[in-house]
């Protein structure tokens, strides 16, 4: 116990003496949490539109003003040449081309239907899909308006229309920041927990200090605990900073209790620390550890459900996500923050995370050798 | 019981398909309180032996005991009672001199004051810098600190791996003085070095080359076992002189040695014959005198024999 205390003392001294580490630990969460939630927004805005109007009628103009009034679209070109519009797409000035055919108004009035052509630049998939669907719903809306104008007010509407209204539970205003901030916070805790810990141990190997430690009677578990505990504390410290920022800057009051978040984080940190330790046992230089960390971080982020819902991934990716500890914490964070889940509600996740912790730490401890 | 007993120690490294035989069946004994030197060029296997004896490396075969404890089975006992100073400075650079010393004292469950007498002579030299970070010390200071940290738990056996490599001549001399003081306090010291001139500072030495020990003994014994005449020769054109000497069938070996060439003569040949030969080849001006052999001469001769 006494030995462990001295190891911890030494570890904390070193951490707080390294200005670079301190900057990373304190500045990284602050900057990321202040900047990223504003940028990482699912809503697609500023879709640039090129309109090819062959009709020049009242109706076509009404349609155009309705589209631009929606706030999602910016009119880039108003032209009569389709080729010119496509050219704009090629120059990346336009995302969507809408072609209004000749006799658009006439057809609509006389035959009650008129075609519209839409060409979408699919280089940015999300923008293309969402832009097209926004535009479609505007067309639909517009269509309904016109029909109502022309309808001769019969006693019973010959066409039944079903209108759907929705309300968003747990996040009534569909505020993306409420959704993103907890997720980003999870990534920060993960990064500090696993990668700083891995780099720290590998540094001892690289500098050679581990040799000097290995010839001493320090026990394996003492050395490992001496490394894990400081980063466990730092992880919780970052979580605290992050939660404070989300409360002060974004006004996010978790619907659930802070205690639930901390309880889960405490267990979760064991997993990421185990991962860091495992990386360090397989790497000999900080560069190697760094590259592996980058690789894992990409997987964690892209298959963690932060940006894209796991449920919409292909089956094999969902299986990978099942082994991604980050996905559990993101899920738990969102549940607790938005829905107010209690410890009992997230018991299955705690169970899985505990299992991860045992496997990773066991593997790392087994693979850590004081002699070669 | 000897402090260190090494028996047929073997260590191989695999790099790809090639097997590097770093240590090939090495045996030697170190008596208690002895200052024992392992002397050999880079790549002789000195560090591998030290790493095995300090339980950092497992031998492939053979065995050794340190203070009676087996290096494989009783490794935990060994870690309690040896001090190890690796060739590369490996203390915490971001901790101060004082903090490093305290840290290593505490993990051995002792304190700096308890064994202060042991390190006092060395520590007073670095004490003025005790609040300085170890990484900011000069080379000689770092080495003194490393020695203090390796001594602070009063080890029975002290392993010093190339402690004087890359250290200036004055610091080297100081360092050996410190080692002799330590030996007087009863600590057994194993030291490795690539510098032949340091052999005479040890009680006994083992000369190593390519994973094997060529000879063991006191420096005097090794020099006495050198049974050839040895002449130092100097002339204007040193390179030409060496070429001429090497063509002569009256010699065993010739190699440059400082500002002279050392020539090991075959039996029955002496200085007079040498002067005649050199005069006949245009080196009448050569300065020739007999010298007593040094450890380096012995080393060169042993290497020569190995090649034959």
Nearest CA to B99 out of B89, B108, B88, B91 is that of B91
Question: In terms of domains, do B128 and B33 share one?
Answer: yes
Give the whole-angstrom CA distance, residue A181 versus residue A288.
30
Q: Do A201 and B84 form a contact (C-beta atoms < 8 A)?
A: no
Q: Do A256 and A335 form a contact (C-beta atoms < 8 A)?
A: yes
Question: In terms of domains, do B185 and B252 share one?
Answer: no
CA distance A242 to chain B (A): 29
Give residue-wise pLDDT tens across range B85-118.
998 888 999 999 999 999 999 999 888 888 888 8
Q: Which residues on chain B are in Cβ contact (under 8 Å) with A2?
A: 106, 109
CA distances from B173 to A147, B85, B177 (A): 104, 18, 6
A176, A181, A183, A185 alpha-carbon torsion, rounded to 10°:
170
Is residue B305 assigned to a domain?
no
Q: Which residues on chain B are in Cβ contact (under 8 Å) with A218?
A: 107
CATH of domain A47-150: 3.40.1710.10
Q: How many domains does chain B have?
A: 2
Are B106 and A3 a contacting pair at CB < 8 A?
A: yes
Question: In terms of domains, do B249 and B174 share one?
Answer: no
Going A263 to A264 to A266 to A267, the CA torsion angle's sign is positive
Q: Do A262 and A237 form a contact (C-beta atoms < 8 A)?
A: no
Searching chain A, which residue's CA lies closest to the CA of residue B159? A215
Give the whole-angstrom CA distance, residue B44 versus residue A271.
44
H-run or E-run covering A31: helix A19-39
Q: Is A92 on the interface with B (CB under 8 A)?
A: no
Question: Is residue A147 classed as helix, strand or coil in its secondary structure?
Answer: helix
Using an 8 Å CB-CB cutoff, list residues of chain B that contact chain A.
Answer: 54-58, 75-76, 79-80, 82, 84, 86, 88-95, 99, 103-104, 106-109, 149
Nearest CA to A81 out of A114, A51, A48 is that of A51
Question: In terms of domains, do B105 and B231 share one?
Answer: no
Question: In terms of domains, do B211 and B117 share one?
Answer: yes
Q: Which residues on chain B are in Cβ contact (under 8 Å) with A10?
A: 92, 95, 99, 103
Question: In terms of domains, do B45 and B27 share one?
Answer: yes
Searching chain A, which residue's CA lies closest to the CA of residue B133? A17
Question: In terms of domains, do B129 and B247 share one?
Answer: no
Give the whole-angstrom CA distance, residue B92 versus residue A226.
15
Give pLDDT, residue B251.
81
Question: In terms of domains, do B116 and B162 share one?
Answer: yes
Searching chain A, which residue's CA lies closest to the CA of residue B91? A209
Q: Which of A7, A208, A216 sits opposite B108 (nearest CB)?
A: A216
Q: Do B26 and B63 form a contact (C-beta atoms < 8 A)?
A: no
Q: Which of A3, A211, A218 sits opposite B90 (nearest CB)?
A: A211
Give residue-wise pLDDT tens across range B248-289.
887 888 888 888 888 888 777 777 788 888 888 888 788 888
Note which residues in 10-39 of chain A have CB less than 8 A from chain B: 10, 13-14, 17-18
Question: In terms of domains, do B206 and B234 share one?
Answer: no
Give residue-wise pLDDT tens across range B34-71.
999 999 888 888 999 999 999 999 999 998 999 989 99
Question: Is residue A259 classed as helix, strand or coil in its secondary structure?
Answer: helix
Give pLDDT, residue A183.
84
Q: Which of A17, A212, A372 sits opposite B86 (nearest CB)?
A: A212
Is residue B63 assigned to a domain?
yes
Strand B204-209 relative to strand B35-39: parallel, antiparallel, unpaired?
A: parallel
Strand partners, A266: none
Residue B114, domain extent? 4-218
Is residue B234 assigned to a domain?
yes
**Domain end residue (candidates: B194, B218, B242):** B218
Q: Residue B140: which pLDDT band, with cuts at 50, 70 and 90?
A: confident
Q: Which of A14, A217, A371 sits opposite B108 (nearest CB)?
A: A217
CA distance B107 to chain A (A): 6
pLDDT at position B158 over 90: yes
Query: What stretches in chain A show pLDDT beneath 70?
Result: 40-43, 150-161, 163-164, 166, 168, 170-175, 370-372
Q: Which of B57, B75, B90 sits opposite A212 (nearest CB)?
A: B90
Is residue B301 assigned to a domain?
no
Give the whole-angstrom CA distance, residue B40 versus residue B208.
5
**Domain end residue (candidates: B186, B218, B250):** B218
Give CA angle at B134 (B129, B135), nearest 5°: 125
Considering chain B, what percentage of its residues have pLDDT values greater than 70? 99
Give pLDDT, residue A80.
82
Domain harbouring B58, CATH code:
3.40.50.300
Give pLDDT, residue A371.
65
**Residues A204-227 as b or e (16 or more Cβ within 10 Å = b):** bbbbebbbbbbbbbbeeebbbebb
**Domain end residue (candidates: B159, B189, B218):** B218
Is residue B190 assigned to a domain?
yes
B195, B201, B202, B206 alpha-carbon torsion, rounded to 10°:
30
Is residue B302 assigned to a domain?
no
Give the whole-angstrom CA distance, residue B60 versus residue B42.
21
Give the whole-angstrom CA distance, residue A243 versus residue A231.
18
Q: Which DSSP symbol is given to A344?
A: T
Task: Tell me which long-range contacts A117-125 makes (C-beta under 8 A, separation of at least 24).
Answer: A119/A86, A119/A89, A120/A95, A120/A96, A121/A89, A121/A92, A121/A94, A121/A95, A121/A96, A124/A95
Q: Which of B75, B84, B106 sits opposite A6 (nearest CB)?
A: B106
Other Cβ atoms within 10 Å of B174 Cβ, number: 18
Question: In terms of domains, do B22 and B93 share one?
Answer: yes
CA distances from A222 to A225, A318, A337, A366, B110 (A): 5, 38, 36, 14, 17
Give pLDDT, residue A134.
83
Nearest CA to A325 out of A368, A271, A245, A276 is that of A271
Question: In terms of domains, do B232 and B154 share one?
Answer: no
Q: Exposed, middle or buried: residue B49 (CB in 10 Å: 0-12, 13-18, 19+)?
A: buried
Give mean pLDDT, residues B161-188. 87
Question: Is residue B69 classed as helix, strand or coil in its secondary structure?
Answer: strand
Question: In terms of domains, do B247 and B196 share one?
Answer: no
Ramachandran region, residue A269 (left: φ > 0; alpha: ψ -120 to 50; beta: rest): alpha
Is residue B304 assigned to a domain?
no
Give pLDDT, residue A41.
65
Is residue B299 assigned to a domain?
no
Q: Where are the domains of chain A?
A: 2-40+172-367, 47-150
Q: Which residues contact B213 (CB under 8 A, 6 or more apart)?
A: B26, B27, B28, B206, B207
Whether the complex's predicted ipTM is more than 0.95 is answered with no
Q: Which residues on chain A are in Cβ contact (under 8 Å) with B55?
A: 215, 371
Domain harbouring B278, CATH code:
3.30.70.2070
């Amino acid at each position: 116990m006494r030995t462990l205390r001295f190891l911890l003392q030494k570890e904390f001294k070193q951490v707080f003496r390294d200005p670079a580490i301190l900057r990373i630990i304190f500045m990284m969460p602050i900057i990321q949490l202040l900047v990223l939630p504003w940028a990482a927004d699912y809503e697609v805005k500023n879709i640039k539109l090129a309109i090819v109007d062959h009709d020049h009628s009242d109706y076509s103009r009404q349609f155009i003003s309705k589209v631009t009034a929606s706030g999602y679209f910016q009119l880039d070109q108003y032209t009569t040449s389709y080729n010119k519009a496509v050219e704009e797409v090629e120059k990346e000035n336009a995302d969507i081309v809408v072609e209004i055919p000749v006799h658009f108004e006439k057809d609509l009035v006389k035959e009650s239907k008129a075609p519209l052509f839409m060409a979408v630049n699919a280089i940015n998939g999300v923008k293309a899909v969402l832009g097209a669907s926004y535009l479609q719903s505007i067309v639909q809306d517009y269509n309904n308006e016109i029909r109502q104008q022309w309808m001769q007010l019969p006693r019973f509407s010959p066409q039944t229309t079903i209108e759907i209204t929705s309300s968003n539970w747990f996040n009534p205003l569909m505020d993306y920041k409420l959704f993103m901030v907890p997720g980003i916070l999870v990534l920060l805790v993960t990064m500090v927990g696993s990668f700083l810990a891995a780099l720290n141990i590998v540094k001892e190997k690289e500098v050679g200090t581990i040799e000097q430690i290995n010839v001493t009677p320090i026990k394996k578990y003492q050395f490992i605990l001496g490394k894990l505990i400081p980063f466990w504390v730092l992880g919780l410290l970052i979580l605290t900073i992050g939660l404070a920022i989300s409360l002060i800057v974004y006004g996010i009051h978790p619907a659930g209790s802070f205690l639930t978040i901390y309880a889960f984080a405490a267990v979760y940190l064991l997993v990421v620390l185990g991962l860091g330790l495992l990386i360090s046992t397989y790497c000999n230089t900080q560069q190697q550890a760094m590259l592996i960390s980058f690789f894992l971080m990409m997987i964690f982020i892209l298959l963690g459900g932060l940006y894209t819902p796991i449920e919409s991934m292909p089956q094999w990716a969902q299986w990978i996500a099942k082994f991604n500890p980050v996905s559990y914490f993101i899920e738990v964070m969102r549940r607790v923050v938005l829905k107010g889940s209690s410890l009992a509600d997230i018991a299955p996740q705690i169970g899985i995370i505990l299992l991860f912790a045992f496997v990773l730490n066991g593997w790392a401890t087994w693979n850590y050798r004081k002699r070669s | 019981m000897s402090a260190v007993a090494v028996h047929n120690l073997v260590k191989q490294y695999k790099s790809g398909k090639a097997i590097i035989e770093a240590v090939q069946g090495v045996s030697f004994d170190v008596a208690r309180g002895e200052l024992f030197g392992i002397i050999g060029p880079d790549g002789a296997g000195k560090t591998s032996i030290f790493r095995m004896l300090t339980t950092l490396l497992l031998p492939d075969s053979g065995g050794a005991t340190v203070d009676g404890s087996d290096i494989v089975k009783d490794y935990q006992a060994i870690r309690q009672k040896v001090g190890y100073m690796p060739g590369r400075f490996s203390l915490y650079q971001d901790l101060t001199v004082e903090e490093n010393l305290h840290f290593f004292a505490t993990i051995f469950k002792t304190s700096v004051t308890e064994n202060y007498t042991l390190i006092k002579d060395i520590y007073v030299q670095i004490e003025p810098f005790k609040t300085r970070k170890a990484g900011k010390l000069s080379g000689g200071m770092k080495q003194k600190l490393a020695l203090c940290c390796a001594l602070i738990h009063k080890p029975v056996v002290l392993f010093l791996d190339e402690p004087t490599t890359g250290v200036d001549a004055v610091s080297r001399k100081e360092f050996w003085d410190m080692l002799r003081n330590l030996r007087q306090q009863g600590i057994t010291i194993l030291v490795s070095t690539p510098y032949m001139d340091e052999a005479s500072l040890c009680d006994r030495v083992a000369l190593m080359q390519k994973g094997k020990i060529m000879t063991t003994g006191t420096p005097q014994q090794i020099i006495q076992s050198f049974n050839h005449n040895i002449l130092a020769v100097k002339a204007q054109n040193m390179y030409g002189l060496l070429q001429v000497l090497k063509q002569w069938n009256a010699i065993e070996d010739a190699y440059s040695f400082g500002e002279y060439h050392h020539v090991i003569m075959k039996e029955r040949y002496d200085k007079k014959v040498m002067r005649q030969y050199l005069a006949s080849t245009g080196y009448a001006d050569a300065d020739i005198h007999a010298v007593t052999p040094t450890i380096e001469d012995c080393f060169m001769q042993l290497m020569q024999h190995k090649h034959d």
